[in-house]
Homo-oligomer: A and B are copies of this chain.
Amino acid sequence: MGSVVGLLAETGRRIDPVMEKYLSRNVAPEFRDAVLYQIRIGGKRIRPALTMVSATAAGGKEEDAYPAAAAVEIIHNYSLVLDDIIDHSELRRGHPTVWKKYGISTAILVAVHYRESAAEALNDTPDPVAFNEIMAWTVKELIEGERLDILMEQAGREDEPYVVANRISEMRLEDYLRMVEKKTARLIETSCRFGGMSVGAPKRVVEALSRYGYNVGLAFQVGDDIIDLFGKQEKTGKRVGQDIKEHKLGNVVVLLALEELRGTPEGEELESIIKKPVISWEEVGRAMKIISSTHAREKAEELRDRYVSEALKALEELGESEARRLLEGLAVFIREREF
């Protein structure tokens, strides 16, 4: 199944020269390295690959989706550069983040440059007005998802008045899903939609591809949450329980456990751990033990699998093709993956 991801990555890599073309437009020679750094340190290019494979699955030519594919990946990296500033993250893909390497001012200028390069790419799509409108909406959704994500942190950012005043301390599953929808699913939905639109696919097909992308995005994030808590360290390379350590209410398994344990001493203990300003690994272990005593994991898996089924169902609108099988393969991979 891993080969699906390999195939997608290989497809996505074909977008690199196109991205570099737009990012190199109107850039001072002394600024170019800083601009290209973020995309040169890697990335799986899943979003542009989805745009390109969606274009092919809709019966069109991959090349016709290049400008839109470049735009979605540039926007994705734009959001990463800014997220790393916002989260004070020093490492990404095993390298220093842009702000860590160049400084915050430079990172902000790089990010702004990315947004303009994406605008230039969208201008080369077959219907710039439609593509622009959808991208503006998508980025506003990303902002809202990031805003909710920040407000779901249970401690920290004491120097940020807006965050301190608006923290979300009571959270229901639907609030969490709304955050994931905006922060993760929208751009993947738009990536697939853009593929169909780039090759002039009929509305029915474009909508089916969008539905596929949206559900794959949700399934992916729920899967990620499960792996964060139950993944095998030898496969993920990460210590389990990272989300708890970062006192995030925004992990679906934690939320489902809290819901099940509402009103019990274990529920209160779990909540009190999550809300501590600093959480020790010992407390992470205790939280994991409480979570494991519930049905949270299987409920989360059911949720993930429901999204995968929706994604697969959406694809039934499309004719048979190798590209469609690749999209199906990705959905199945998300259901099966352990890392």
Contacts and interface: CB of A to CB of B under 8 A. Distances in A.
Q: How many copies does the complex hold?
A: 2
Nearest to A135: B119
Which of A140, A160, A161 has the most chain B CB atoms closer than 10 A to its own CB? A140
Contacts of A141: 26
A55 to B, nearest CB: 21
A27 B120 CA distance: 25
A4 interface: no
Contact of A166 (B30, B135, B139, B157): B30
**Do most interface residues of chain A lie in helix, strand or loop, or is the interface mixed?**
helix
B136 A105 contact: no
Contacts of A120: 132-133, 136
A294 interface: no
B101 A161 contact: yes
A44 to B, nearest CB: 23
B82 A108 contact: yes
A115 B115 contact: yes
A163 interface: yes
Contacts of A28: 144, 147
A233 B31 CA distance: 39
Which bucket holds chain A's interface residue count?
Answer: 35 or more
Contacts of A150: 105
A250 B28 CA distance: 19
Interface in A136-169: 136-137, 139-144, 146-147, 150, 157, 159-163, 166
Given A105-B162, A128-B132, 20 more contacts: A26-B144, A28-B144, A28-B147, A31-B144, A82-B108, A85-B108, A101-B161, A102-B161, A105-B163, A108-B108, A109-B143, A109-B147, A112-B142, A115-B115, A115-B139, A119-B119, A119-B136, A123-B132, A123-B133, A132-B132
7 contacts: A31-B144, A82-B108, A101-B161, A112-B139, A116-B143, A120-B132, A128-B129
